[in-house]
Structure 1
Amino acid sequence: MTISDWIMILAVFLGPIVAVQLTKYLDAKKEKRQRKLDIFKTLMATRSYSTSWDHVMTLNRIDLEFERSNPKEKAVIDSWKQYLDLLGDKTIKGEQWGAKRIELLVELLYKMALVLDYDFDKTHIKNSAYSPIAHGNIDIQQAKIREGIIDILEGNRNIPMRVTNLPEQS
């Protein structure tokens, strides 16, 4: 048997193994990118609703899916840490906190866009979300209703009642 025969035999046996391993590698890489895309798309879609469950749960997946070993992805994690620090900061109040929150969220989304090859600038990320005023009003009303019911249940508030018609006495 010649050396070319041995190479042919080796190629016949190793070819399928290499093809399967390459396919598995490419599939894993594709799935990893898809998980990052899912995070980015959810955060972009909910950027005007920072207290929504989807937004909060997705934020908590960032450090699970983005890798510190990749410099661009490390920038995402670093931005996420800054955003997380602000979200837990009780010393900044009102509009200043809100403005800083938006600034840090935009920075986080911008860095994710760079990793995922989206051509979004910070102005686009900040200003292109649609959030109807009615949704904000509903959120405010629901919060007032919850607070009122809690006050009643805790005995801090009474239910105002007025009797308008008494039944006739016979």
Structure 2
Amino acid sequence: MTYDQMGLNEWLIIGATIVGPILAVQAQKWIERARVATGRRTWIFETLMATRGARMSMDHVRALNTIDLAFYGTKILGRTVRSRKWQSVIDAWHEYHAHLSQPEEQRPKTKDQDVAWGAKGEELFVNLLTALAVSNHYRFDRTQLRMGGYSPAGHATVENEQTALRNLLIRMLSGQHPLPVEVRSTAVANADAPRSGPQIGLLQEPWGSKTGSGGT
């Protein structure tokens, strides 16, 4: 069969033979990218759930800082497109981030203000976990998200002690806190005083002397 005798079906078969493997490779790449992106979003939710009681940990902070990237969406014709679930996650994270990033002059000054500020932060964090759970197809009520984490009391004690030691060391090195020094007097023995107790000496014979009998 010559090229002139080939019909539409033959050309379609040739085209499918050439293009088919290329499309299959591209489809595999798209599937792999989607799997990685889904795994990243799942990792964020699992990490934040696991570190609810240790929010100063590096894993917790890293998961928070990855939200903008993992839920960014898709660029289509220069415009970012994301689902409503993803947008809810982004909005909840930005609101929580704004609360955590308040400047020092706006931070609470009294104990009551500090309690209210902490309660608001807890509520915003639960909002974020709720949005993440929905986007990852999990169903949790707010009570589970708020109270479900476990953190031994000893961990909090160790963390507070380490923080107190770091703050004390920084104040001492910067001159803001004096270094406590205690001087104690102790009795010192007189080197010229005679020694008490028996004195043990070493008896040495003159060089070349002989012991025993037999000399003339």
TM-score (norm 2): 0.72
Q: Report the equivalent of 1:6.
A: 11
| Partner of residue 108, structure 1 | 128
Distance 1:114 1:157, change over 3 A: same
Give the Cα–Cα distance (whole angstroms) in 1 for the partners of residues 72 and 169 of structure 2. Answer: 45
**Which of 57, 63, 74 does residue 52 from structure 1 map onto?**
57
Residue in 1 that maps onto 2:77 = none
Q: Please report the RMSD computed on the Cα atoms of aligned residues, expressed in angstroms.
A: 1.8
Percent identical:
36
Letter in 2 for 1:71: R
Q: Give the aligned residue type for 1:59.
A: L
**Can you give the 5+ residue segments of structure 2 that lack an aligned partner in the other structure?**
1-5, 74-81, 191-216
After the TM superposition, which of the residue ranges 62-71 and 119-128 deviates more from structure 2? 62-71
Question: How far did residue 163 of structure 1 move?
Answer: 4.1
* Cα distance, 1:151 vs structure 2: 2.2
| 1:9-158 correspondence runs (5 A) | 9-67=14-72, 69-89=82-102, 90-92=106-108, 93-158=113-178
- Measured against aligned partners, the alpha-carbon deviations of 1:93-149 in whole angstroms (never above 9, x if no partner) come to 311111111111111011011111112222111111011111111111111111222
Any gaps of 5 or more consecutive residues in structure 1?
none
Q: Which moved more, 1:85-94 or 1:120-129?
A: 85-94
Which secondary structure does the structure 2 equivalent of 1:119 belong to? coil
* AA at the equivalent of 2:135: V
1:153 partner letter: L
Offset at residue 65 of structure 1 (A) = 1.4
* Larger RCO, structure (CA 8 Å, separation 6 or more): 1
TM-score w.r.t. length of structure 1 = 0.90
Cα displacement (A) at 1:3: 2.6
Return the alpha-carbon distance in structure 2 between the equivalents of residues 131 and 163 of structure 1. Answer: 43
Runs of 4+ off more than 4 Å: none
Report the Cα distance in structure 1 between the residues aligned to 2:142 and 2:127, rounded to whole angstroms. 7
Using the alignment, how far apart are the partners of 1:144 and 1:7 within structure 2? Answer: 75
Query: For the residues of structure 2 that align with 1:152 and 1:17, how far apart are their CA atoms?
Result: 67
Corresponding residue SS for 1:67: coil
Aligned residue pair count: 170
Q: Is the radius of gyration larger for structure 1 or structure 2? A: 2
